[in-house]
Amino acid sequence: MEDPKKLEEGFGNQKKLNSGEEIDITSHQGNKLDNRNDSNQDLVSHENEQKTLDWPLQIEEEEQPPIKQKSKRVATLDAFRGLAIVRVPKVSAAIRKVTQRTLKLLFWGIILQGGYSHAPYDLAYGVDMKLIRWSGILQRIALVYLIVALIEILTTKLRPTTLTPGHFSIFTAYKWQWLGGFVAFFVYMTTLYGLYVPDWNFLVHYEDRSDRYTVKCGMRGHLGPACNAVGYVDRQVWGINHLYKFPVWARSKACTLSYPATGPLSDNAPSWCRAPFEPEGLLSSISAIMSGTIGIHYGHVLIHFKGHGDRLKQWVSMGFGLLILAFILHFTDAIPLNKQLYSFSYVCFTAGAAGIVFSGFYILIDVLGLRMPFLWLEWIGMNAMLIFVLGAQGIFAGFINGWYFKNEDNNLVNWIQHHVFFDVWKSERVGTLLYVIFAEITCWAILAGIFQTVYLLETIKKKSQQL
């Protein structure tokens, strides 16, 4: 166990990747791209393609991308959702649509994670504007999407029409995208290691009193929970009252005897254990721009390389290269893996893992033709935003919980959790895992399939009316 005093003073070190975190989906972005230059390929209709791209992370471009090779639609990209490129008539129209989608993401992010919705267990709603949380997962996606999309749109005319021979030609062809990613990386690293973090204090409100706590810092380049620059930037920009109130660091060994689960704080817990911390803060979201840059690179590979082997060579080499770099940075203590800070090693690890997983799906679905077993993933990917709102944020479960008998705890969701999963397996941890797999994931796969079926029927109906 680390010395609590050292942790409070800011000298602790958080090296391990924290579990039980919200999944930040920015580093798991694939790219859905459709080559319309080759008339010999059998393509789906434009109307169907537009629906397939209903995941918010879309990029609109002015002109046809500089591709002349043949490529057919890749089903893998429906299972592995992400950033997408469509052709539209004007740059101004593309920028307008990107801006609209960014504002929608920000709006839903603030509604869902700002504190207004108390689902699924608390049936109340509303938020005190003095305590509203401004950051969140969707807000991070909005920032990354906006930056990466604008670079993609505004540099269309600056790209070469064809790739020059060489393994690294695809990197030079999209040098402006990589420049944007490295600028974000430079801003993040210089701020993380160069910004001076002074002592800070905060209030904790109890039912009968309010206590003030002080955290001693006065240092630069600290990566622990007490004195890092990520938290300092958020406290200065948003204000400490607008940060996430239940950070994962409160579950650390230094804070609670219930580690790794949530529990009451120990008597000698350092003061920062009680402080809020924003896991999707401003500085860490700037670091996530590099994740978006790597994600869209996977899509560029899909455009420019027509053979399965050529594509897989690019994806796998990039994925394993990033994973190796992440492990080196972590195990040499140079830059430990840290989701809370969205450290560069964490960016490399998640982006590299995404490339490997994507390659695996590509082999199974597009090379071997095993599409049927993964249709449920395609359905979820095609309705990703809807499922995130209803499922990940507990809106649907909150609606179900609203129908209870005598008291709010006596509802269908709680009954299924306890009587079907917890009581049967005599373990809350195992029961929770099985509940997520068989109750939640299966439920959303079925619902996503229903949504997709309804859409296809509506499309067929419209086409028959046109004929």
Contacts of 241 (CB under 8 A, 6+ apart): 130, 131, 276
For the beta carbon of residue 425, count every other beta carbon within 10 angstroms. Answer: 15
Q: CA 308 to CA 71: how far, in whole Å?
A: 10
- pLDDT score at 350: 97
Q: CA 415 to CA 433: how far, in whole Å?
A: 16
Cα-to-chain-centroid distance, residue 363: 24
For the cut 90, the answer to whether the pLDDT of residue 320 exceeds it is yes
3-state DSSP helix/strand/coil percent for the chain, to nearest 5? 55, 5, 35
- pLDDT score at 94: 93
For the cut 80, the answer to whether the pLDDT of residue 229 exceeds it is yes
What is the per-residue pLDDT across 427-460, written as a single tens digit (0 to 9) for each?
777 888 888 888 888 888 888 999 889 989 999 9
86, β-bridge pairs: 60
For the cut 50, the answer to whether the pLDDT of residue 318 exceeds it is yes
Q: CA 249 to CA 235: how far, in whole Å?
A: 17
Identify which of 374, 370, 377 has the alpha carbon closest to the alpha carbon of residue 445. Answer: 377
Identify which of 309, 319, 392, 405 has the alpha carbon closest to the alpha carbon of residue 22. Answer: 392
Which 3-state string (H, E, C) describes 196-208? Answer: EECCEEEEEECCC
Pairing status of strand 58-61 against strand 82-87: parallel
For residue 69, count CB atoms less than 10 angstroms from its CB and return exposed for 0-12, middle for 13-18, buried for 19 or more: middle
Q: CA 408 to CA 401: how far, in whole Å?
A: 7
What is the per-residue pLDDT across 89-135, written as a single tens digit (0 to 9) for each?
589 999 999 999 999 999 999 998 999 988 888 888 899 999 999 99
Q: Using an 8 Å Cβ cutoff, are 285 and 35 in contact?
A: no
- Give the pair of three-digit tokens for residue 441: 């994931």
Q: Which residue has the higher pLDDT, 50 or 335?
A: 335
Q: CA 219 to CA 135: how far, in whole Å?
A: 26
- pLDDT score at 366: 94
Q: Which residue has the higher pLDDT, 178 or 263?
A: 178
- pLDDT score at 341: 96
**Count of CA atoms in the C-beta half-sphere (13 A) of 135:** 27
What is the per-residue pLDDT across 299-309, written as a single tens digit (0 to 9) for each?
999 989 989 99
Cβ burial 161-194 (10 Å sphere, 16+ → b, else e) = eebeeeeeebeebbeebbebbeebbeebeebbee
Average pLDDT over the chain, rounded to an integer: 82
- Give the pair of three-digit tokens for residue 463: 């086409």
% of residues, the chain, pLDDT over 70: 81
Phi and psi torsions of 247, nearest 5°: -65, 155
The pLDDT confidence band at residue 51, using thresholds 50, 70 and 90, is very low
Angle, alpha carbons 86-92-97 (nearest 5°)? 55
- Give the pair of three-digit tokens for residue 367: 């090379």
Phi and psi torsions of 87, nearest 5°: -95, 135
Identify which of 281, 285, 31 has the alpha carbon closest to the alpha carbon of residue 146. Answer: 285
Contacts of 244 (CB under 8 A, 6+ apart): 133, 135, 276, 277, 278, 279, 280
- Mean pLDDT for 12-17 is 38
Q: Using an 8 Å Cβ cutoff, are 301 and 77 in contact?
A: no
Q: CA 426 to CA 421: how far, in whole Å?
A: 8
The pLDDT confidence band at residue 60, using thresholds 50, 70 and 90, is very low
For the beta carbon of residue 129, count every other beta carbon within 10 angstroms. Answer: 8
- pLDDT score at 89: 56
- pLDDT score at 79: 43
